[in-house]
Amino acid sequence: MILVVAEQRGGALNPATWETVAAAQQTGESITVALVGADVQKLAAELAAAEVAEVLAVEHDALEPYTPDGFVAALAQVMEKACPELVLFPHTYQTRDYAPALAARLGRVFIPDCIASKVRDGQRVFVRPMFQGKFMADVLPQGPAPHFASFQIGACRADACARGAAPAPVREAAVEIDAAAIRQRPEAPFKEAKQAVDLTQAERIVAVGRGIKGQEHLPVAQDLAKALDAELAASRPICDSGWLPMDRQIGSSGQTVAPKLYLAVGISGAIQHLVGMKGARTIVAVNKDADAPIFEVADYGIVGDLFEVVPAIMAALEGEA
Amino acid sequence: MKIAVCIKQVVTRDWPLRVAESATWVRDDDASFEMNEPDAYALEEALRLKELLGGEVVVCSAGPARVSQVIREALARGADRAIHVEGEALAAAEADAVAAALAGAMEGESFDLVLTGLQSDDQGFGQTGVVLAERLGLPHATIIMEVDVADDGGSLRVKRELESGWFQWVSMPLPALLTIQSGINQLRYATLRGIMAAKRKEILTVPAQSAETAGQRILELYVPEKSSATRFIDGSAPEAARELVRLLREEARVL
Ligand SMILES: Cc1cc2nc3c(=O)[nH]c(=O)nc-3n(C[C@H](O)[C@H](O)[C@H](O)COP(=O)(O)OP(=O)(O)OC[C@H]3O[C@@H](n4cnc5c(N)ncnc54)[C@H](O)[C@@H]3O)c2cc1C
């Protein structure tokens, strides 16, 4: 049996949950979904629509809001009773926060951030990126079951999740939690004060990455943005270095945009960046590395030095104006 | 405050990496190496906390002999001393094995605060810190963008990054472990004085104890198959640029 750990916050399921259920369905094994929180019956019923054997509602007052201590304690008990062969998670910030501790407590292996699982020489292996996406690895989990793995957001399509002919049974899984033993005291999530620039409305975006080398070279990208009547945006390291304000960052921890044109210069195309821009209608990438992952999503690519290519684009725009 | 910072040495970002003949790891014997970027931010945060609250910053690194390079660099930036858990196999080890090696060497030190980067640029497990917390019995929080230590020094309030621009404050008692996100602060670089001073700082080298760890075996490492329909535009920069502008105007119609 495969146990899928669903994720919810504030009365809504994280849509990545459906992707992970879809990934589990591809194995053809029997699936149980566990949902953890204080009052999850409604969401458990929602999950029961998927083609799965059972949904476990793991409820306790001490499990809302989320804490790593609470979730490790609860899910360790669930694992002991359910005895799954495999436990799958969506690779969210929350999974990153507690699943490694859960695996360590149970002495189990946890293969994170997978994009697929497949059978190789009769064994189930997991495919995950390494070295910032430059390589993929087929990884074989070792040691006793259950093995843990998490699936990268977007690795499976949520709409690939098959629905059952009838709702799956929802069962309560009782857990004992000592609220006093939970060491983290979380406050309510918040967003930083309203952002000065709203890139989600931009029709055209020029995004600059670490290939720009130094703050003193930023005008290269700024001028291109101006010439294209585009907003200037950036990958995270540019904002981390303080070269551009945080509200110009695109990606999982920045803004998600879908402009008509997204022109990425000197951006490698890490998954955390791609999730924020792959919905753009036309993507152009300028990168000196022909193997850069950004070319996996680009419609047009120029392999070359941005310090030559960008001025040439400016000249071409002027020449035809 | 006695602060530990765990630092990993990784292959330099721009190094043209190739898969090794074994097809289970990269060819890195001639590579150049650097400090894992989020770990550099963790070190900076530790140095700032020490400047604010006093105490000591101890660099802990698990890896083969070559990691002494990043240890020296951390000492040059201002760390006080270092523990090097040495083992050849740690170079390509999984997070659980690295955390076990670090935990063995750190247990007796009774650190008030342990900082790690949130993940490494090579294997990218994002687990070493969290597993280390579990092994040391410490409360933890991950992907941290701000650290406030309470006036009495007994607890912490930290800002966790969540997805899509959300954040959350979390409090917990000390001792604790935090995994630090890049961008939490602005990095300092080593000064000549710092580099000179580092030469006199203590590096305690201890052999990695073999520990029972869960285990994940890389069967094969390979360059991902290209599935994209990218239209690559060849030619000199001016030629490619002219063709791109034409395509954006006439084919994509986005200009
Ligand atoms: C939890 C988490 C959240 C994250 N959130 C985000 C996020 O929201 N947004 C985000 O962007 N990242 C995010 N990241 C970071 C992400 O993993 C990558 O590290 C980052 O996107 C890399 O930025 P980059 O492409 O600019 O830099 P690099 O990966 O260093 O790439 C630089 C590129 O420039 C090219 N280049 C260099 N010189 C030249 C030249 N002269 N001409 C042309 N090309 C050149 C190189 O070939 C390379 O491909 C996050 C990471 C984590 C762990």
Determine the 3-state secondary structure of A7 from DSSP: coil
Return all residues near A164 (Cβ < 8 A) that are at least 6 apart: A48, A49, A50, A51, A52
Return all residues near A253 (Cβ < 8 A) that are at least 6 apart: A236, A272, B161, B163, B164, B165
In this structure, the answer to whether residues A301 and A154 fall within a common structural domain is: no
Is residue A74 within 6 Å of ligand 1 at its C-beta?
no
The residue nearest atom 37 of ligand 1, judged by CA position, is A211
In this structure, the answer to whether residues A8 and A144 fall within a common structural domain is: yes
Which helix (H) or strand (E) segment is B35 a member of? strand B33-35
HSE (side-chain half, CA atoms, 13 Å) at A150: 27
Alpha-carbon gap, residue A308 to A269, rounded angstroms: 20
Indicate whether A185 pLDDT > 90. yes
Q: Where are the beta strands (DSSP E) in chain A?
A: 2-5, 8-9, 12-13, 31-37, 54-59, 86-90, 110-114, 116-120, 123-130, 135-141, 147-151, 170-172, 185-186, 190-191, 204-208, 231-234, 261-265, 282-287, 300-303
Identify the pLDDT of residue B185.
97
Indicate whether B44 pLDDT > 80. yes
Q: Indicate the pairing of strand B155-161 with strand B166-173.
A: antiparallel
Question: Has residue A85 been placed in a domain?
Answer: yes
Per domain, the residue ranges of chain B are 2-207
Identify the pLDDT of residue A197.
84
Considering only alpha carbons, which residue of chain A is nearest residue B133?
A: A101
The tens digit of pLDDT for each residue in A265-313 reads 999 999 999 999 999 999 999 999 998 999 999 999 999 999 999 999 9
Determine the 3-state secondary structure of B7 from DSSP: coil
Determine the 3-state secondary structure of A115 from DSSP: coil
Alpha-carbon gap, residue A44 to B86, rounded angstroms: 48
| Phi, psi (rounded to 5 degrees) for B244 | -60, -50
Q: Which CATH number characterizes residue A49's domain? A: 3.40.50.620
Question: Has residue A191 been placed in a domain?
Answer: no
Question: Has residue A193 been placed in a domain?
Answer: no
Mutate to test the interface with B, among A97, A128, A226 (most CBs of B within 10 A): A97
Distance of CA A34 to the CA centre of its chain: 20
Instruction: Compute the mean pLDDT over every residue in chain A, rounded to the nearest whole number.
Output: 95
Write out chain A residues lying below 8 Å of B230, CB-based: 285, 295-296, 298-301
Indicate whether B164 pLDDT > 60. yes
CB A313 within 8 A of CB B243: no
Average pLDDT, integer, range A142-163: 95
Indicate whether B57 pLDDT > 60. yes
Alpha-carbon gap, residue B246 to A91, rounded angstroms: 40
In chain A, residues 242-261 whose CB comes closer than 8 Å to chain B: 242, 246, 252-256, 260-261
Indicate whether A44 pLDDT > 80. yes
Q: Enter the DSSP assignment of B238.
A: H
- Put simply, whether A318 touches B (Cβ < 8 Å) is no
Average pLDDT, integer, range B2-31: 95
In this structure, the answer to whether residues A32 and A174 fall within a common structural domain is: yes
Is residue A257 within 6 Å of ligand 1 at its C-beta?
no
- Put simply, whether A214 touches B (Cβ < 8 Å) is no
Q: Tell me whether the omega of the peptide bond preceding residue A245 falls within 30 degrees of 0, making it cis.
A: no
Identify the pLDDT of residue B87.
94
In this structure, the answer to whether residues A18 and A167 fall within a common structural domain is: yes
Confidence at A116, pLDDT banded by 50, 70, 90: very high
Q: What tokens does A35 get? A: 């949902």
In this structure, the answer to whether residues A23 and A137 fall within a common structural domain is: yes
Is residue A292 within 6 Å of ligand 1 at its C-beta?
yes
Which helix (H) or strand (E) segment is B177 a member of? strand B176-180
In this structure, the answer to whether residues A164 and A137 fall within a common structural domain is: yes
CB A160 within 8 A of CB B240: no
Is residue A249 within 6 Å of ligand 1 at its C-beta?
yes
Confidence at B193, pLDDT banded by 50, 70, 90: very high
Burial class (CB in 10 A: 0-12, 13-18, 19+), A138: buried
Confidence at A46, pLDDT banded by 50, 70, 90: very high
Question: Has residue A177 been placed in a domain?
Answer: yes
CB atoms within 10 A of CB B22: 11
Identify the pLDDT of residue A259.
97
Average pLDDT, integer, range A149-175: 95
Alpha-carbon gap, residue B103 to B209, rounded angstroms: 10
Instruction: Compute the mean pLDDT over every residue in chain B, rounded to the nearest whole number.
Output: 95
Q: Indicate the pairing of strand A116-120 with strand A170-172.
A: unpaired
Alpha-carbon gap, residue A34 to A91, rounded angstroms: 16
Long-range contacts of B47-53 (CB under 8 A, 24+ apart): B47/B77, B47/B78, B47/B79, B47/B188, B48/B185, B49/B1, B49/B3, B49/B113, B49/B147, B49/B149, B50/B1, B50/B3, B50/B78, B52/B149, B53/B1, B53/B149, B53/B153
Indicate whether A319 pLDDT > 90. no
Question: Has residue A187 been placed in a domain?
Answer: no
Q: Indicate the pairing of strand A31-37 with strand A2-5.
A: parallel
Q: What percent of chain A has pLDDT over 90?
A: 94
Q: Specify which residues B141 forms β-bridges with.
A: B178
Alpha-carbon gap, residue A283 to A296, rounded angstroms: 10
Identify the pLDDT of residue A320.
59
In this structure, the answer to whether residues A247 and A174 fall within a common structural domain is: no
Question: Has residue A54 been placed in a domain?
Answer: yes
Confidence at A39, pLDDT banded by 50, 70, 90: very high
Average pLDDT, integer, range A231-251: 95
Average pLDDT, integer, range B98-105: 96
In this structure, the answer to whether residues A176 and A205 fall within a common structural domain is: no
Confidence at B226, pLDDT banded by 50, 70, 90: confident
In this structure, the answer to whether residues A225 and A104 fall within a common structural domain is: no
Number of domains in chain A: 2
The tens digit of pLDDT for each residue in B66-100 reads 999 999 999 999 999 999 999 999 999 999 999 99
Identify the pLDDT of residue A112.
97
Identify the pLDDT of residue A186.
98
Indicate whether A193 pLDDT > 80. no
In this structure, the answer to whether residues A217 and A283 fall within a common structural domain is: yes
In this structure, the answer to whether residues A156 and A285 fall within a common structural domain is: no
| Residue A251 backbone zone (phi > 0: left; psi -120 to 50: alpha; other: beta) | left
Domain-terminating residue out of A149, A181, A213: A181
CATH fold label, B2-207: Rossmann fold (3.40.50)
Question: Has residue A188 been placed in a domain?
Answer: no
Confidence at B213, pLDDT banded by 50, 70, 90: confident
Q: Which CATH number characterizes residue A232's domain? A: 3.40.50.1220
In this structure, the answer to whether residues A208 and A273 fall within a common structural domain is: yes
Average pLDDT, integer, range B230-236: 96
Question: Has residue A261 been placed in a domain?
Answer: yes
Identify the pLDDT of residue B204.
98
Alpha-carbon gap, residue B200 to B28, rounded angstroms: 30
Confidence at B227, pLDDT banded by 50, 70, 90: confident
Average pLDDT, integer, range A172-180: 96
CA-based nearest residue to A25, from A53, A60, A46: A53
Indicate whether A196 pLDDT > 80. no
Q: Tell me whether the omega of the peptide bond preceding residue B238 falls within 30 degrees of 0, making it cis.
A: no
Alpha-carbon gap, residue A38 to B235, rounded angstroms: 61
Q: Which domain holds residue A112?
A: 2-181
Is residue A128 within 6 Å of ligand 1 at its C-beta?
no
Average pLDDT, integer, range A139-149: 96
Closest CA of chain A from B75, distance in Å: 22
Identify the pLDDT of residue B178.
98
- DSSP codes, A44-75: HHHHTTBS-SEEEEEE-GGGSS--HHHHHHHH
Q: What tokens does B143 get? A: 């992907």
